[in-house]
Amino acid sequence: MISGYSPSRTLPIGAEIRRQASRRRTQLALGFMVLLPLIILLAFEFGGGDDDDNGGGAFSSLVDLATSGGLNFTLFALFVSSSFLLVVVVALFCGDTVASEASWGSLRYLLAIPVPRARLLAVKLVVALGYSLTALLTLAGTALLVGTLRYGWHPLGSTVAAEIPAGEGLLRLLGILGYLAVMLLGVAGLAFLLSVLTDAALGAVGGAVLLWILSSILDQITALGGIRNFLPTHYSDAWLGLLSTPMQTDDVVKGAISAVCYAAVFWSMAFYRFTRKDVTS
Amino acid sequence: MFALTARLRRVFSRPTRRRVIAGGAVLVLVAALVTWAALPERHSWTATDQMVSVLSGPSGTEPVALDTRFYLPEDHDGKVPAVLLAHGFGGTKESVSDDAESLADRGYAVLTWTARGFGRSAGEIHLDNPDYEIKDGQRLLDWLAARPEVRTDAAGDPRVGVVGGSYGGALALMLAAQDARVDAIVPMITWNDLSTSFFPGGVFKKNWAGLFFTSGSDAGNPACGRFAEDVCAAYLKMATTGTPDAATTALLRKSSPAGYLTRIKAPTLLIQGAVDTLFPLSEADANAKGIAATGTPVRVAWFTGGHDGGVGPKTDQDRTRFLTAEWLDHYVKGDGPAPENSFTYSRVAGFSALDRGLVTNGYSDPTYPGIGGTGRTDVAVTGAAQQIAAPPNGNPGALSSLPGVGGQLSSLLGGVAGDLGGQHATFASAPVGTAIEVVGSPQVKLRVAAATGSATVFVKLYDVDPTGTETLSGGLIAPVRLTGLAKDIAAAQPVTVTLPAIVRRIDQGHTVRVVVATTDQAFLTPAAPAGYTVAVEPAVSLPTVVGTPIANPQVIWRWVLLSALVVIALGAAAAYWLTRRRPTAPVEEFAETPLVVRDLRKAYADGFVAVEKVAFTVQRGQVVGLLGPNGAGKTTTLRVLMGLTMPTSGDALVFGQRLVPGAPILSRVGALVEGPGFLPHLTGYENLQAYWRATGRPLAEAHFDEALEIAGLGESVHRRTKNYSHGMRQRLAIAQAMLGLPELLVLDEPTDGLDPPQIAEMRRVLKRYATDGRAVLVSSHLLAEVEQTCTHAVVVNKGRIVASGPVDDIVGESPSVQLSVSDVAVASTVLAGLNVRDVRRDGPADLIVDMNGTPREEVVASLVRAGVGVDRVVPRRRLEDAFLALVGDNSRGSGDR
């Protein structure tokens, strides 16, 4: 071992953050998180009064309430992006991170430094999760900012329960963000596993999103009965329960169990595979 | 496309062991799933269908055939207690099969039957008449007592509980009153007095009554259906007039438990629904009070459901099932402790986010408080006296509930409130300061004036949220028929109206709105138009109960989550601890040797052996060339040296340390393997910086300037690497390998893509690099390059070492000489006479001669003397010998073998 080298100091978190920050896709993804609330805001402002009823149960009223205050605007922005956009963004950050290094050929030089394989994965995972969380918080923060500036600071409204005072509403919103973050661990785990298994970044990201959509579709088929409870997306809407008073946390807890278990399994597989495989790219 | 099919073919044509195992596992899994799905459900009971003929009627001699089903637990020790399970109005024994099965699972013999007048049972509907339906029940008790499997208390007295909902619930109550053999009853959503149920406040509940009546209809008799004549006549009369006459009232009374309650000695669990406009909570309250008056144990439970609300949310179903089982287990089976006397109820908490169903929270209170609550909160409503009109025939009518639709979300949550202009008066409170937990019947004091002296009005209590959305709990309203009214509102006396009991939390900031309306579609209103003046006394009295939340069994999941997190954390820690790298002692012998490769072998998973057996050593100061044709195994060897690939056997030692993936000793090695790998979006300089940052070593050790000088990229170093030419990338990669001036430099085809001057420069650089105790390992397929650059060479082919040693030894003069002569035959003869070892023909005019130490000039002189013309004398070189022997006859790479 050469002086100055220590396995635990290789690939510092900061270095990995900089590696990713300089990439266009990181900048675009985070930029879009800022842009989306603005687009929604513009759509509300210039969308005209085209009243078409979407008649989709009690939660369609989230749309009607979206302009009632900054908190509701944020809630709406999360509502529309949680099922797909955030999944894609998380899959992008977590699925691309190892596979892209492999496709550039830079992975083998990192391993030859040597960055211990487990450390490389751990750092990559932490940074990818960090970027995912940043994206989520950026979206919510921007939405809260522009929503509050435009529509004011008002209680959080929903038709299923009493209005929630703004202060508590903010806490609920944080709770929802926390749950979404936990829920997205599932897709993060899947994308990361695929990222380790393949050298094609697109395959990892696309594969994770594809499997996620498949799970969502299966979840729509009520004939599957109890099996649906084991789908990783089954509890993805449970955060809506946090809007009622008192909060319904049963499904939130189950969703968290599901997401944490899936993520743990996927990550274990990723670590197991990566620490043993021949890096041929 | 071809590439894809070729790959697919490769994948499928090689059934390696791993593929076979994986495929087998998937097959087993699929087979197990299919089997599990296809296997028939196993029951713990057997069911027997049978027509049982019983004698009943006033005289007890009228036979009637009842369609029964008897469930018997399969594995029972001795005799089992029984449950008589009755169905609701319009149902059959099939409609209670789920409940029957779950009771049978709990070890009860369950007898279900279709009541007379329904389904395949004979007879007419007498509306739970003591002489008919109830007597049928008694005969079924006889039947149960005669079954050998059923436990009995005495001869002819079975150990039995009676359970039923609605029509069956009233039967349970009345059977228990009429027959002391009943040990416990669980009547659900049933009535106390049909005459108050159908004429609440003296107003005919036409909508429900009509539905009730038509569900007993039959094509054979369109007017009366399967109703008994007297019942039919009574209905037709009361539906026509809207007021019951004495005979009708007597008939309804006879079919109501109200008159028999004091005779009930069987412990009673009353379960009533809070979303029930047919038999509201007050019916169960009256039953509870009547039964408890004689000291019989009574327990009351409310749930969010009923004739309007359906079976209710899952949590409520679980709770009522549990209460029922607990009740029967103790009072019938004799198992378990005596159930508490606590009162349980539930309140809507909101929608479930997942299935859009309702979510309720359960609460309990130590004793049943009745519908008056444990406390009362008065809310002041204001509003001037208002004039309202009752239209002729009550048309158009306001809408408060949708009888018979059953379980609709809208009616469950807030009714289908729709008040019509001019027909209702509104009195509203200020927003309430603190939330009010309303549990019970609110009371309103009403003053009504009417020119006719009588009025029919409907009183409703709305919960109005700050956005103005009004909610009528359960769609429940109180119809009132008032007579003897004053003509002037000032003279009107206040009348207390008790509204139907509700369970609702009126949140802080909500207002209470009392509405007095003249019409409602669910009720019959007077045909003649009328006008009323209505005022409400300010104080609206709301009964409250502050219940203890029932521990949600779902809370267990929080512990599951916590344990999952702990297990994962422990697992991660264990994995970290088990896999952490323990420093291994170096092999002392080679501690100062940059590289020792010992009998390396690498076979890939698909069976291809890239390296058979390779062993060589790189000492300090050496530039060693790894020479071989494409595919000889050079790159695989280097991959192993970089820790990218695990060798199948053998090992490589760097300064005595074994090379495994991620071995810290690799920090003393700089490498270029299989071409450059850079982040395309960074400039060359940024790439080097990013690489060095990833090493985590101090910047001062990097020697950037030397590296950049070697790269020789000039200003281009600040361009993005994706725009670089192949040669530029190659030079940058060599520079990257040299960052930190590692003691062993491993370069794979370093001159690939360089132009001749750069190659020359690179040679100088490498030679210079190997001074100061450093060493370089260069792989190449070019003989000339190795010859010119390296001090030592290792020649590999087909995964094996063919030759190795100092380049001078290998490249230097070999004992062989190639002679081109004019006459091969003569020359051979001459040579044979000299002291040479071997002479071989090599082409038409060439000979290869192993000189065996004989000087070349002597050989040439001898040949010339013998008259053989010598055209050329070329000293052979060993490396060439070796290399040509390897590749000369076959230009294909060994990787293609």
Report the CATH number that the domain containing residue B648 is assigned in CATH.
3.40.50.300
- The pLDDT score that the predictor gives to residue A77 is 92
- The pLDDT score that the predictor gives to residue A175 is 94
Dihedral angle over CA of A134, A173, A254, A273, nearest 10: 0
Residues 6+ apart with CB under 8 A from A67: A44, A73, A151
Q: Could A4 and B564 be called an inter-chain contact, meaning their C-beta atoms sit closer than 8 Å?
A: no
In a domain, B786, yes or no: yes
Using CB atoms, pick whichever of B565, B571, B664 lies closest to residue A114.
Answer: B664
Question: Which residue, B365, B390, B411, sits at the end of a domain?
Answer: B365
Q: In chain B, which residue's Cα lies nearest the Cα of A219? A: B354
- The pLDDT score that the predictor gives to residue B784 is 77
Using CB atoms, pick whichever of A15, A23, A250 lies closest to residue B554.
Answer: A250
> Percentage of chain B with pLDDT > 70?
91
Q: Which residue has the higher pLDDT, A8 or A257?
A: A257
Beta strands in B545-622 (DSSP E): 548-549, 595-603, 609-618
Q: DSSP states of B251-266 as a string?
A: HHHHTSGGGGGGG--S
Length of chain B: 897
Residues 6+ apart with CB under 8 A from A115: A7, A10, A11, A123, B662, B694
Residue B400 has pLDDT above 70, yes or no: yes
Asked if residue B658 and residue B726 are part of one domain, the reply reads: yes
Chain Cα centroid distance, residue A135 = 8
Asked if residue B174 and residue B96 are part of one domain, the reply reads: yes
- Angstrom distances, CA of residue B618 to CA of A169, B318, B613, B624, B633: 69, 77, 17, 7, 18
Mean pLDDT computed over A113-126: 92
| d(C-alpha B204, C-alpha B206), whole Å | 5
The CATH number covering residue B851 comes to: 3.30.70.100
- The pLDDT score that the predictor gives to residue B890 is 47
Asked if residue B145 and residue B91 are part of one domain, the reply reads: yes
Residue A138 has pLDDT above 50, yes or no: yes
User: Which alpha helices (DSSP H) does B739-855 contain, by range?
Assistant: 756-769, 783-789, 807-811, 824-833
User: Other CB atoms closer than 10 Å to residue B202's CB: what's the count?
Assistant: 15
Q: How confident is the model at residue B191 (pLDDT cuts 50, 70, 90)?
A: very high
Mean pLDDT computed over A127-153: 95
The residue ranges of every structural domain in chain A are 11-42+57-274
Residue A35 has pLDDT above 90, yes or no: yes
Q: How confident is the model at residue B410 (pLDDT cuts 50, 70, 90)?
A: very low
Question: Which residue, B760, B776, B809, sits at the end of a domain?
Answer: B809
pLDDT in tens, B498-521: 999 999 989 888 999 999 999 888
Asked if residue B739 and residue B592 are part of one domain, the reply reads: yes
Structural domain range at position B217? 199-255
Exposed e or buried b per residue across B142-173, where buried means at least 16 C-beta atoms within 10 angstroms of its C-beta: ebbbebeebbbeeeebbbbbbbbbbbbbbbbb
Mean pLDDT computed over A217-225: 83
Q: How confident is the model at residue A29 (pLDDT cuts 50, 70, 90)?
A: very high
Using CB atoms, pick whichever of B354, B361, B509 lies closest to residue A237.
Answer: B354
- Choosing among A160, A179, A198, A222, which should be mutated to test the B contact, i.e. which has the most B CBs within 10 A? A160
Q: Could A111 and B643 be called an inter-chain contact, meaning their C-beta atoms sit closer than 8 Å?
A: yes
Q: How confident is the model at residue A181 (pLDDT cuts 50, 70, 90)?
A: very high
Q: How confident is the model at residue B9 (pLDDT cuts 50, 70, 90)?
A: low
| d(C-alpha B850, C-alpha B838), whole Å | 5
B550 touches B301 (CB < 8 A): no
Q: Scan for tokens 């909508």, then name that residue.
A: B207
Mean pLDDT computed over B531-538: 90
Least confident span in A73-87, B336-350, B800-814 = B800-814
* Whole-number average pLDDT of chain B: 85
Residue B689 has pLDDT above 80, yes or no: yes
- The pLDDT score that the predictor gives to residue B139 is 92
- The pLDDT score that the predictor gives to residue B85 is 94
The CATH number covering residue B413 comes to: 2.60.120.260
Least confident span in A269-278, B2-11, B600-609, B701-710 = B2-11
Q: Could B668 and A239 be called an inter-chain contact, meaning their C-beta atoms sit closer than 8 Å?
A: no
* Whole-number average pLDDT of chain A: 87
- The pLDDT score that the predictor gives to residue B768 is 86
- The pLDDT score that the predictor gives to residue B405 is 65
Residues of B in contact with A238 (CB under 8 A): 353-354
Using CB atoms, pick whichever of A7, A237, A257 lies closest to residue B560.
Answer: A257
Asked if residue B750 and residue B681 are part of one domain, the reply reads: yes
In a domain, B554, yes or no: no
Q: Could B644 and A159 be called an inter-chain contact, meaning their C-beta atoms sit closer than 8 Å?
A: no
The CA distance from A144 to the nearest CA of chain B, in Å, is 22
Residues of A in contact with B506 (CB under 8 A): none
Least confident span in A42-46, A139-143, B142-146, B164-168 = A42-46
Using CB atoms, pick whichever of A7, A57, A109 lies closest to residue B691.
Answer: A109
Mean pLDDT computed over B486-499: 89
| d(C-alpha B511, C-alpha B51), whole Å | 58
- The pLDDT score that the predictor gives to residue B893 is 42
Radius of gyration of chain A from Cα atoms? 21
Q: Which of B84, B73, B65 minimizes the C-alpha distance to B47?
A: B73
Q: How confident is the model at residue A243 (pLDDT cuts 50, 70, 90)?
A: confident
Q: Could A112 and B669 be called an inter-chain contact, meaning their C-beta atoms sit closer than 8 Å?
A: yes
Question: How many contacts, defined by CB atoms under 8 Å, are there between A and B?
Answer: 194
Q: In chain A, which residue's Cα lies nearest the Cα of B414? A: A160
The CA distance from A35 to the nearest CA of chain B, in Å, is 24
Q: Could B694 and A15 be called an inter-chain contact, meaning their C-beta atoms sit closer than 8 Å?
A: yes
Asked if residue B186 and residue B76 are part of one domain, the reply reads: yes
pLDDT in tens, B358-376: 778 889 999 899 898 889 9
- The pLDDT score that the predictor gives to residue A8 is 86
The Cα diameter of chain B in Å comes to 161
The CA distance from B522 to the nearest CA of chain A, in Å, is 26
> Percentage of chain B with pLDDT > 90?
32
Q: In chain B, which residue's Cα lies nearest the Cα of A155? A: B466
- The pLDDT score that the predictor gives to residue A73 is 92
Q: Which residue has the higher pLDDT, B837 or A119?
A: A119
Residues of B in contact with A57 (CB under 8 A): 356
Asked if residue B386 and residue B354 are part of one domain, the reply reads: no
Asked if residue B282 and residue B380 are part of one domain, the reply reads: no
Q: How confident is the model at residue A159 (pLDDT cuts 50, 70, 90)?
A: low
Q: Which two tokens stand for residue A270?
A: 């990723």
Q: Which two tokens stand for residue B770?
A: 């190997």
Using CB atoms, pick whichever of A5, A58, A279 lies closest to residue B644.
Answer: A279
Residue B811 has pLDDT above 80, yes or no: no
pLDDT in tens, B595-615: 999 999 988 888 888 888 889
Asked if residue B836 and residue B797 are part of one domain, the reply reads: no
In a domain, B583, yes or no: no
Length of chain A: 281
Q: DSSP states of B170-205 as a string?
A: HHHHHHHHH-TTEEEEEEES--S-HHHHHSGGG---
Residue B352 has pLDDT above 90, yes or no: no
C-alpha torsion sign, points A188, A193, A198, A203: negative
In a domain, B27, yes or no: no
| d(C-alpha B379, C-alpha B216), whole Å | 44
Residues of A in contact with B565 (CB under 8 A): 260
Asked if residue B494 and residue B350 are part of one domain, the reply reads: no
Q: Could A111 and B698 be called an inter-chain contact, meaning their C-beta atoms sit closer than 8 Å?
A: no
In a domain, B74, yes or no: yes
Q: Which two tokens stand for residue B593?
A: 């040797």
- The pLDDT score that the predictor gives to residue A62 is 62
Q: Which of B838, B860, B859 minimizes the C-alpha distance to B849?
A: B838
Least confident span in B171-175, B583-587, B690-694, B792-796 = B583-587
| d(C-alpha B679, C-alpha A97), whole Å | 12
- The pLDDT score that the predictor gives to residue B412 is 47
User: What is the SS3 assignment for A59?
Assistant: helix
* Amino acid present at B598: R
Q: How confident is the model at residue B895 (pLDDT cuts 50, 70, 90)?
A: very low
Asked if residue B360 and residue B291 are part of one domain, the reply reads: yes
Using CB atoms, pick whichever of A58, A104, A162 lies closest to residue B351.
Answer: A58
The CA distance from B315 to the nearest CA of chain A, in Å, is 12
Residues of B in contact with A275 (CB under 8 A): 579, 661
Residue A114 has pLDDT above 70, yes or no: yes
Asked if residue B231 and residue B142 are part of one domain, the reply reads: no
What domain count does chain B have? Answer: 5
Question: Which residue, B233, B255, B277, sits at the end of a domain?
Answer: B255
Q: In chain A, which residue's Cα lies nearest the Cα of B510? A: A162
pLDDT in tens, B45-82: 888 999 999 998 888 888 999 999 999 988 777 789 99
Residue A52 burial (10 A CB sphere; 0-12, 13-18, 19+) = exposed
Using CB atoms, pick whichever of B349, B564, B639 lies closest to residue A257.
Answer: B564
pLDDT in tens, B195-232: 888 999 889 998 888 888 877 667 677 778 888 888 88
Q: Could A114 and B643 be called an inter-chain contact, meaning their C-beta atoms sit closer than 8 Å?
A: yes
Q: In chain B, which residue's Cα lies nearest the Cα of A236? A: B354
Residue B888 has pLDDT above 60, yes or no: no
